[in-house]
Amino acid sequence: MELLKKFIEDVGKDLVLDDFNLKEAQMRLPARKHFWVARLMEAKIRRGELTKKKTQLKKNITKEVIATSPVKISQSSAEHAAERHESLQNLTSKIYECNMIIEYLEKVEKVMGQMGFDIKNIIDVQKMEQL
């Protein structure tokens, strides 16, 4: 969850708008959108890799459980036993973390998409205040 905390902190910095940095924020916005979409895609790729690794590990552990069992057990019982294996639980928690990061970055993408309108509205308010 350290990565998620870092992303939350970084996004908070990107979303700060005031009278002094308005133009700079507007100019940087496309690059920041690209940056966060790239992080989203990286997280989705990582989740896919972890899921694939978990599936393979589960198959291997299931085969090992069946082979080392003193009595004949069913495939589903062996898979259930494999789910309790420490390495599989570790991968499951990493996949959960990736899902949380993906959910957060999808919301960041929506917020960044609306920032252009927010900046325009701030500029309009500033113009009205000057009249």
Q: Per residue in 41-84, pLDDT tens?
A: 999 999 999 999 999 999 999 999 888 888 888 889 988 888 99
Would you call 111 helix, strand, or coil by DSSP? helix
Computed over its alpha carbons, how large is the radius of gyration of the chain? 23
Rounded Cα distance, 30 and 38, in Å: 12
pLDDT at 131 over 80: no
Locate 110 and state its tokens: 């929506």
pLDDT at 97: 96
pLDDT at residue 42, as a whole number: 97
- As a whole number of Å, the end-to-end CA separation of the chain is 49
Output the CA–CA distances (angstroms, integers) from residue 15 to 44, 54, 99, in the order listed: 23, 36, 23
Confidence of residue 100 (pLDDT cuts 50, 70, 90): very high
Residue 7 has pLDDT above 90, yes or no: yes
Q: Note the pTM of the prediction, 2 decimals.
A: 0.82
User: What percent of the chain has pLDDT above 90?
Assistant: 53
Q: List the structure tokens of 78.
A: 């062996």
